[in-house]
Structure 1
Amino acid sequence: MIKIGKRAVWLFGAIAIVAASPAFAGDSAPVDRNTLWNIVNLKCLRHLTKSEAPIPCDSVDVSAGWDRGLALLKDRIGRARLLAIPTRVVTGIEDPTILAAEWSHYFADAWAVRDNLNWRLQRKLSPDAAAITVDSRPRREQDQLSFAIDCLDEGVADTLAANAATIGDQWAQMKVALKGRTY
């Protein structure tokens, strides 16, 4: 019989506990699907109500009303990528709220702030060098509508320019793939 001391048992137990912790698990911890809303509501808007800078947001525009505003937040991805996030809960692009005429301003307002990319990049972008994207329900990780505003990938810009004649003014599936995906 092998004799194991108390110290060895304690050490084995500690290793087992650490190995079972989420940091060592194969799957990462679940994503909080309300992170964006919590940042806007609990941080940016809260600072704004105290007449402070809306940190961590770059800006918050509530001139049309607190529930009709848009917060601009630097995304953790990329050098200049920004997220434009409504100041009210809007789950996504399919949310019936944004289909109502009085709420349809979100896309236009998000597009209007694309000049903030110039400030982040410290250079002037041509008008067609910026893009705005919205994740569809199956692709998104957040239950809060957000518009990602960023520089248009050069390959995507070239493909769009080459196929401009086939792109209409109505929503339709594109006839060409962009970076291997169809939209």
Structure 2
Amino acid sequence: MKYKKLLWAIAIVIISLLFVLWFILGRGNSNALWEIVSQKCVPNQQSNGNPAPCLNVDLKDGYALLKDLRGPYHDLLIPSTKITGIESPVLLQNNTPSFFAAAWNYRGYIVKEIGKPVKNEYLSLSINSQYGRSQNQLHIHISCLRPEVYHTLHEQSTAISTHWQPLGVELQGHKYLAIKLSTTDLTQSDPFKTLYQYVHRQDDSMGNYGLAVVFTSSGDPILLANRLDILDANRGSAEEIQDITCALVKENN
């Protein structure tokens, strides 16, 4: 029994060390997105009225839309001020724009790229945890849902309530929390603030969570959150539920 406990302890240490090494060494230039937006997109918009290399820059509300090089159907909503990520207390301030609402309003770019009608329920928004991301500038992924995730959520949608609770099944092999928002207006029910209410009650940290927004066939927004769990090989990357090839759209057209 003691031998098994020792092996388990050694395994935990090894997994933790591998995670730390990835976090420190495996992320490349963690300021790449911030450099593109702050040094290229925003100055070009200000000087020439051209958002390139971004798709769009909103100088008034303070964010940009950038097509991710990992595509073909994958855009990023990025603030034009320095905000590291989901753990930033700036996201909880009343004067901070609703970045999830802005990202959802930009979904038309993905639809245009696909070139055919796309149901809202096929689309999704996500942000990764502090430990599951490669960039230290907040960015919300805009893309389609994985087909298997879509079908699972469709089956589970009636069981999701207006209170945070564990989702009945795992997504991509990981446990998720789910909540149905009482309004479709993401400026009124801001996803970051909604998650914070749960995290605060748990005496936890926002940085430990990945967060996603999806919509049911009836138009109800659902938030999905997955917490960092090193032993479960879960870095809190909600992006894992998305499919940048949008196979779901192709299957249903």
Give the TM-score, by structure 2 length. Answer: 0.57
**Which position in structure 2 is the counterpart of 1:160?**
153
State the Cα distance separating 1:63 from its structure 2 match. Answer: 2.6
| Letter of the 1:176 counterpart | V
- Give distance in 2, aligned partners of 1:171 and 1:114: 26
Instruction: Verify: 1:116 aligned to 2:113, yes or no.
Output: no
What pairs with 1:34-183 in structure 2 (closer than 5 Å)? 34-64=31-61, 69-183=62-176
- Give distance in 2, aligned partners of 1:98 and 1:163: 29
- CA gap of 1:32–1:171, structure 2 versus 1, over 3 A, is farther
What is the identity percentage for the equivalent residue pairs of Structure 1 and Structure 2?
Answer: 33
| Letter of the 2:68 counterpart | D
Bigger mean CA deviation after superposition, 107-116 or 28-37? 28-37
| Letter of the 2:44 counterpart | H
| Letter of the 1:37 counterpart | W
- RMSD, aligned α-carbons: 1.7
1:89-126: CA deviations, max 9, x gaps?
A: 11111100011121151111111111211111111101
State the Cα distance separating 1:29 from its structure 2 match. Answer: 7.5
* Secondary structure in structure 1 of the residue aligned to 2:48: coil
State the Cα distance separating 1:169 from its structure 2 match. Answer: 3.2
More relative contact order, 1 or 2 (CA 8 Å, 6+ apart): 2
Q: 8 Å contact 2:125–2:142 — kept in the other structure?
A: yes
How many residues are matched? 152
| Letter of the 2:46 counterpart | T
- Give distance in 1, aligned partners of 2:27 and 2:147: 33
Q: Flag structure 2 segments of 5+ consecutive residues without an equivalent.
A: 1-24, 177-253
Match among 30, 33, 53 for residue 30 of structure 2? 33
State the Cα distance separating 1:175 from its structure 2 match. Answer: 2.9
Q: Which has the larger radius of gyration?
A: 1
Give the TM-score, by structure 1 length. Answer: 0.77
- Give distance in 1, aligned partners of 2:109 and 2:86: 23
Q: Flag structure 1 segments of 5+ consecutive residues without an equivalent.
A: 1-27
| Letter of the 1:102 counterpart | N
| Letter of the 2:41 counterpart | C
Bigger mean CA deviation after superposition, 137-146 or 107-116? 107-116
